[in-house]
Amino acid sequence: MRIHLLKLFLNESGKRRRKTGLITFALAWGSLSLLLLMSFGRGLSETFQESFKGLGDRLLIISGGQSSMVHQGLPKGRKISLYPEDVELIRAQAQGIRYISPESMTTLTLSYRGKETGRNVSGVYPEFANMRNQIPQEGGRFLNETDERERRRVVFLGWAVAENLFPDEEAVGKRVLINRVPFTVIGVMKKKLQTSSYEGTDAEMVYIPFSSYIQFQENRQIYMIHVEPESGGGAAGLEKKIKELLGRKYRFNPEDTYALNVWDTIEQAQEGAKVFMGIQIFLLLIGSLTLIIGAVGVTNLMYALVKERTREIGIKMALGAKRRHIVAQFLLETLLIFVRGTLWGGLVAFNIVGLVRLIPVDYDFTGVQSYLLRPVFSTDILVLFTVLMGVLVFFSGIFPALRASRLNPVDALRYE
Amino acid sequence: MIELVKIRKVYRTGQVVYEALKGIHMKVNPGEFIAIMGPSGSGKSTLMNLLGCLDTPTEGFYFLEGEDVAGLSFDQLSEIRNKKIGFVFQSFNLLLYSTAFENIELPMLFDGIGRRERRERVEMLLERVGLKEWADHRPTEMSGGQQQRVAIARALANDPPIILADEPTGNLDSKSGKEIMDLFTELNREGKTILMVTHDHGIAGYARRKVEILDGQISTDTPNGFGHPTSPSPESPV
């Protein structure tokens, strides 16, 4: 279509803007609902994924269990315990491991300048921080290889522990007593969302080098082994291999699902992601239905406009308008109504999302507000919204436009 | 220029069949000024719609500048309406939301004429019909005579060889009617072929040929003096 005809149609549409006010409002409302539902749905999903990373979203967490199958002449019901050398056995013989770390834990007393608190203290390798997404706050660090090798008495604190022991001062560099043994604070964990946990969230934990920890422990058993595979897809194979290795060592059937407790966070994250994807699709459907009601309104309005402007269509046909000119004009007018409505809806939605995101996240409270107050207005939402708009514009406008273009010029000119 | 051969137009509404034109034969030479007359329901408007390519015949041939247009598609007929035919209606049929300038410009927009040329032509046409100062006025701000002059300017926009006028003075007072008819006479002198439907003998007197339709057939087809009204009829507004 030529540019001057486009200008003519835009000009003519502008003259009738008042008639489309109500339907513009309906579309603005529909777009606002759709965009907010999509943004909050996406926020919900992303916050879930973020909070899941708080525990570690690519982990196999393995602890000892109890055999439930007779194996190699040994009865069932035997307790299977894990030991530090099991970590090295797995590291040496299983393929596809990115990180591995033991974790042993016990409740010990921490004190600083007369203030005492009982906390779970874990002994771990430096790789543990990578697996559990534990990032030190500025000025601090996590445990490193030298700490482990030299059995240094250094400690990394969860932020809740640091806030408790050091409410008004910097924790890093200070000395705390753990069961009366002095440890230097080398770092405090950055706040993170965490929904899954065992023995409390990481905010409440205290981490020291594994080599230092075993000095506090009477026996050599370890609580858990954390393994991160090189790829998410390799988790199942790795789990099987670990069960084979440990089954051979501790003489249990690798098929015995009770001999070892394996917590596959990858699978859990995937299941969770599916649930949240389902929620997003559901919200998208609800929003789309709201918008479709607006689109039906536009179709009605366009039919009414075609009827009202029958004579005008006849005049244009008499003056040389082709069918495609008439179709183009009514489609363009439909598009303009949509653009005006959705632009308002989009602007309001964008600002609401921006305002909600200004509310600070409460990392110590992982209730509903942590999920609802993180809406996301992302590019793919806009793309999806635009595609949906395009479809609605086409279907709302094409039928009235075709009806207009198929009018008989003689009848149209006679129309009163 | 125009030749109608055995043109029939039949309307069917359910079981009812109505034959509006029953085999019309007619020739129109370039530069003619023809008044088509007849009582209500005689078929003169149907004939005008066919001549204006607004409708197609049920049977017969319509040769326009040697080409049979009876079987052309809607868009091909649109092209003909745009370039070869200018319409002037009894009720003016101007776009009420648009100014005089925009109304006159419309056929040129459908023809894809550039902005500068459009402006020049519209200004020339407004001057021609004596409405130079009314370019930015909407039809609702104008008298009937002024609106009809805008409609004539619009009909001339693409300089078509044929002007079809359907009761062009029907909604006008006698003074405005005379002005409009003088304008048609002038256009005819300049070479435009004018076909005008009217039931008014006084107005028909401006034409040089008079074709009367009765019951869907041409009853008389006679020359009509030299393009001046013979004698205004008592009911004539002029």
- Domain positions in chain A: 3-54+270-414, 60-266
| Residue of B95, B111, B158 lying closest to A315 (CB–CB) | B95
| Residue of B55, B74, B81 lying closest to A319 (CB–CB) | B81
- Report in angstroms the alpha-carbon separations of B211 from A170, B10, B47, B127: 108, 21, 11, 33
CATH code, domain with B204: 3.40.50.300
Of residues B107 and A292, the one with the higher pLDDT is: B107
pLDDT at residue A372 greater than cutoff 90: no
pLDDT tens, residue by residue, A49-83: 777 777 777 888 999 999 998 888 889 899 999 99
pLDDT at residue B231 greater than cutoff 70: no
pLDDT tens, residue by residue, B15-48: 899 999 999 999 999 999 999 999 888 999 899 9
Please give the pLDDT value at position B156: 93
Name the average pLDDT for chain B. 89
pLDDT tens, residue by residue, B72-86: 899 999 999 999 999
- Residues on chain B touching A312 (C-beta within 8 angstroms): 95
Please give the pLDDT value at position B230: 44
Instruction: Compute the average pLDDT of residues A160-177.
Output: 91
| Residue of A4, A314, A319 lying closest to B107 (CB–CB) | A319
Please give the pLDDT value at position A385: 86
Instruction: Compute the average pLDDT of residues A359-374.
Output: 70
Per DSSP, the three-state class of A159 is helix
Answer whether B209's CB lies under 8 Å from B34's CB: yes
In a domain, B199, yes or no: yes
Q: State which residues form the domain around B157.
A: 2-223
Beta bridge partners of B196: B35, B165
Please give the pLDDT value at position B149: 92
Inter-chain touch A316–B106, beta carbons under 8 Å: yes
Q: Which amino acid is at A361?
A: V
Inter-chain touch B93–A320, beta carbons under 8 Å: no
State what percent of residues in chain B have pLDDT above 90.
74
Please give the pLDDT value at position A366: 58
Please give the pLDDT value at position A390: 87
- Residues on chain A touching B158 (C-beta within 8 angstroms): 320
In a domain, B232, yes or no: no
pLDDT at residue A44 greater than cutoff 80: yes
Residue in the structure block whose two tokens are 């969230």: A201
Inter-chain CB pairs, A–B, below 8 Å:
70
Q: How many domains would you assign to chain B? A: 1
Q: Which strand (E) or helix (H) includes residue A301?
A: helix A265-308
In a domain, B216, yes or no: yes
pLDDT at residue A208 greater than cutoff 90: yes
Instruction: Compute the average pLDDT of residues A385-400.
Output: 88
Per DSSP, the three-state class of A327 is helix
Inter-chain touch A323–B75, beta carbons under 8 Å: yes
Instruction: Compute the average pLDDT of residues A130-148.
Output: 91
Answer whether A188's CB lies under 8 Å from A171's CB: yes
Please give the pLDDT value at position A296: 87
ipTM: 0.90
